[in-house]
Amino acid sequence: MTAGTDGSFGALEQVDAGVLSVGYAEAGPDDGPAVILLHGWPYDIHSYANVSPLLASAGYRVIVPYLRGYGTTRFLSDATPRNGQQSVLAVDVIALMDALGIEDAILGGFDWGARTANVVAALWPGRCTAMVSVSGYLIGSQEAGEAPLLPPAELSWWYQFYFATEPGRAGYDKYRREFTRLIWHTASPQWSFDDATFDRSATSFDNADHVGIVIHNYRWRLGLAEGEAQYDDLEKQLAASPVISVPTITLEGDANGAPHPEPGAYAAKFSGKYAHRTISGGVGHNLPQEAPQAFAQAIIDVADQR
């Protein structure tokens, strides 16, 4: 499959992996070094539609999956809990790698995708050879999520508190496109995306499990929803804020309107070869889509550090 030239992908693939049937885009040679690119909320695989061909042309095998609750990714069983806690998203990545016969890969991500890449790198460093992480170190815990912040910081997380209410769940369900378009604007205030760009991603939010996964993710962070007991040990390890040892490049846009830590706050969390880059030019939260050349170059550069 080849990536499109208009910010889109060609025909997508589907594979059973763990508890999911995962929809994903693939580009590049089958025998190239594997790169797995992970999107965030409220975005989808199209954040990487212009990154993928750059990496494919450089010889990488690029895999861009829909996370659980997005696009064509579906649960194999109706009985599986619609769980959005941080560890389970990483388990999904490991299951996808196993299903595709990928022993190890370079991981890249932003937002939920960056956190998921962080978790894989921390808990399964043998499966992650290097990483590009937008906004740095994002591993958290319920205990940390329950700690009060200063009012300006709490204000930036307004949607998390909205999602903690039943009107919030109903409102997000009813106004998915209006809500996610608002987040796009506030998180990337200088990004002038057109309707076609937004609509291309917004169809992914029509997934029947989307609202359930999003609401659980944010309620779990605040300790308002339980996770699954089978992941308790993983969450205990993550609550200790483990250091990440794999080669890493962290990125930040100079106009990121979403909540994010300052680079100096997390540099010590990376014990291997490490560099941070701030991408200028009014780049917001959806960095791979807003600055695909810079993101692709970071992947290529961190690959050289393996």
Burial (CB count <10 Å: 0-12, 13-18, 19+), residue 145: middle
Is pLDDT of 1 > 50? no
State the pLDDT confidence band at 24, using cuts at 50, 70 and 90: very high
CA distance 295 to 55: 10
Is pLDDT of 5 > 90? no
User: How much is the pLDDT for 4?
Assistant: 37
Model confidence pLDDT, tens digit, residues 243-294 = 999 999 999 999 999 999 999 999 999 999 999 999 999 999 999 999 999 9
Whether the predicted model's global pTM rises above the 0.85 cut: yes
The yes or no reply on domain 13-303 and CATH 3.40.50.1820 is yes
Domain ranges of the chain: 13-303
User: How much is the pLDDT for 6?
Assistant: 59
Model confidence pLDDT, tens digit, residues 217-250 = 999 999 999 999 999 999 999 999 999 999 999 9
Is pLDDT of 3 > 60? no
Token pair 């810079």 is at which residue?
294
The pLDDT of 110-117, averaged and rounded, is: 98
CA distance 263 to 239: 20
Sequence-ordered list of residues with C-beta below 8 angstroms from that of 188, at least 6 positions apart, any chain:
253, 255, 256, 257, 283, 284, 285, 286, 290
Model confidence pLDDT, tens digit, residues 25-71 = 999 999 999 999 999 999 999 999 999 999 999 999 999 999 999 99
Model confidence pLDDT, tens digit, residues 67-87 = 999 999 999 999 999 999 999
Pairing of strands 61-65, 20-27: antiparallel
Residues in the chain: 306
Sequence-ordered list of residues with C-beta below 8 angstroms from that of 142, at least 6 positions apart, any chain:
220, 221, 222, 223, 235, 239
